[in-house]
Structure formats: structure tokens, C-alpha cells
Chain A
Amino acid sequence: MKIVLGSDQDGLVLKDKIKSYLRELGYESLDKTEFGGEDFLESTKLVANEIMEDEEMVGVLFDGYGVGSFIAANKIKGMIAAEVSDERSAKMTRDHNHTKIITIGSKIVGEELAKSCVKAFVQSKYSGGRHQIRVDMLNKML
């Protein structure tokens, strides 16, 4: 599994910290915005385009509050993104919602919590079954 990272200027520092952390954990990552995107729309688009068709990739987006990237990502057809600030949601959303991207607000979530959320997300797995009807519905929408 490859983890695709992106950020705007607000999320740049936290993104770089998570990039090092993922390396320590032994994950392969791909940084789409080495110097931070122009805005969260740009970083969202770059990460979403990379992972859209690839089941083996997930994304993590960083901005100021997590909200901008969350809205922008979910406005892309076929994309399911979760804004997270706790580990439980980070784990559950991949398991239940088949989430491809989590978004984290660097002004809201501290470094340790961000690491812990990313770890919970990448170690989780989609369970399908009854959850798939909801995912089918989301994918039928915008």
C-alpha cells in the first residue's frame, strides 16, 4: 500500500512530520505537494487524481482546519474522504465507509494525535458486506 500526501501552505509542516513518521513505520509514501499547494483545492485534486483508480493507495490531506480538503475531496465523483481528529473515527471510517482519504487540520490537531490518526487509518481495512450498499449510494451521487 502506498500513502499519497498533500497539503496547502497551512498544512505543510504537519505533512512533512507525517511523511517522516510514515517512513519510520515502514510505509511507502508519495508527496504530491513537496512545497505545499497553492490552496487546498490544488492539493486535494493532486492527491485524488493519484489514488482514484488505485485500490492499493490511500491519501492524507493537510490544511488549516481539515474542512476545506474534506469538502473539496467529496465533491469529486467516486471519492470518499473523512475529516478526522480522533483515532476511533480514523479507524472506523476506512472499515465502514471505504474511505480513500483522511483530511487533518494542522491548526486543530496536534502532531501526536495526527500521527495516531494516520496510523489508525492506514492500519484499518474496509469490511464490505452491508456497508457496500451505502458506498454504492455515495458513488452514485456527485
Chain B
Amino acid sequence: MKISLGCDHIVTDIKIRISDYLKEKGHTVLDMGTYDFTRTHYPIYGRKVAEAVASGKADRGIVVCGTGVGITVAANKVPGSRAVLARDTTTATYAVEELNANIIGLGGKITGEHLIYSIIDGFLEAKYRSTPENEAILKKLNAREEEVYCQMSDQGLFDEFLVKWNNGEYQD
């Protein structure tokens, strides 16, 4: 499979381990960043991973941040994505089989390395079961997205905030 992979600066080392694990299993990895530990912002990478999946450049996506929440929320805010946050393999499998999930989110500081691999295996091995019930739910879910303004080609979507960040306007 072709897998788009992304993380924030908190878990870049874990992302690289996941990348190696996927390659060992014969997958092709599209690493969307971030590539170092320099402070950055998880929505940038959650969005990139999800857009690669939604546009068909990748078959599935994997996103990682500290708890997994932020980057998985960002991935879900791309039309066409269905991103599950998982700390166990059962949830990952369910999400693909019943909800046709195409992205998995992991908490790199919450879930240990071996469990992460098991969750990824479950996610990649699972197949969507098309039943009338599942189709009805997905149809309702997708109906909401069709109302949404298409943000996918907008490269400068976050620029106004990055300008403010660089001006020191976001202070702890």
C-alpha cells in the first residue's frame, strides 16, 4: 500500500520508526513531515496526510502527535477523510470494517512502540464491509461535507496565523 505519514515535532523519532516498520512490510511511505524536532504545528501535517489520502495519492494515512488527538482532529477536518484515533487494535479494526476509516491517529507519547505496530497492522489488514447499515451511516456523514467550502487547494490556508506566530503574538 501507499501510505502517507505525518507527525508533529514531539514525536518525529517515533514517526521515523513507523516509517521503517512500514517499509519493512513492503509498503511505500510518503513522509509529509515534520522532519525534525523544531517546534511546529500539528494541523499542518494532519492536513497534508489527509489531503494525500482524500485526493488518492495515498491509499491510507497514519498521523502521530503526543496524545494523537490534535493531528487526528486536523486530519478529520479534510473532506473525504475518516480518521480514527486508536490506543487499541480492536478500535482500529472496527473503524475500517464499519466506518471505512482511511487514516489512523496514534498518541506517540501515550501508546508504546509495540502496541503502535499492532494497531497499524490491524488498521492496514482490515477491510471495509459494505452493508446497507454502514452505507447509510457513511452517506449521512458525507452529506455534511458536501456543504463545506473546498479548502483543499488553498495552500495559504494557515498563513495569517503563521504571520502572527512569527510576530510573537501567541505567547504562553
Q: Which residues of chain A have a CB within 8 Å of any CB of chain B? A: 39-41, 64-68, 70-72, 74-77, 80-86, 88-89, 92-93, 96-97, 99, 105, 108, 127-130, 132-134, 136-138, 140-142
Contact = CB atoms under 8 A, between A and B. Distances in A.
A65 B144 CA distance: 21
Interface in B59-90: 66-70, 72-74, 76-79, 82-85, 87-88, 90
B170 A96 contact: no
B101 interface: yes
Interface residues of B, number: 48
B91 interface: yes
Given A89-B107, A92-B69, A96-B69, 17 more contacts: A39-B140, A75-B144, A80-B73, A83-B72, A84-B69, A86-B87, A88-B110, A93-B67, A99-B69, A129-B171, A130-B172, A134-B41, A137-B43, A140-B161, A141-B47, A141-B157, A142-B151
B69 A93 contact: yes
Given A88-B67, A89-B69, A141 B141 contact: no
Contacts of A141: 43, 47, 74, 77-78, 151, 157
Contacts of A89: 67-69, 87, 107, 110
Interface of B: 39, 41-44, 47, 66-70, 72-74, 76-79, 82-85, 87-88, 90-91, 94-95, 99, 101, 107, 110, 137, 140-141, 144-145, 148, 151, 157-158, 161-162, 164-165, 170-172
A75 B76 CA distance: 7
Contacts of B165: 133
A23 B84 CA distance: 31
Contacts of A76: 144
A4 B142 CA distance: 25
A58 to B, nearest CB: 14
A85 B77 contact: no
Nearest to B150: A142
B99 A68 contact: yes
Contacts of B42: 134
Contacts of A93: 67, 69-70
15 contacts: A75-B144, A76-B144, A82-B85, A93-B67, A93-B70, A105-B91, A128-B172, A129-B171, A129-B172, A133-B164, A134-B70, A136-B161, A137-B158, A138-B70, A140-B158
Nearest to A92: B67
Given A71-B141, A89-B107, A108-B88, A97 B161 contact: no
Contacts of A70: 76, 84-85
B73 A86 contact: no
Nearest to B103: A71
Contact of A74 (B76, B91, B161): B76
Nearest to B144: A75
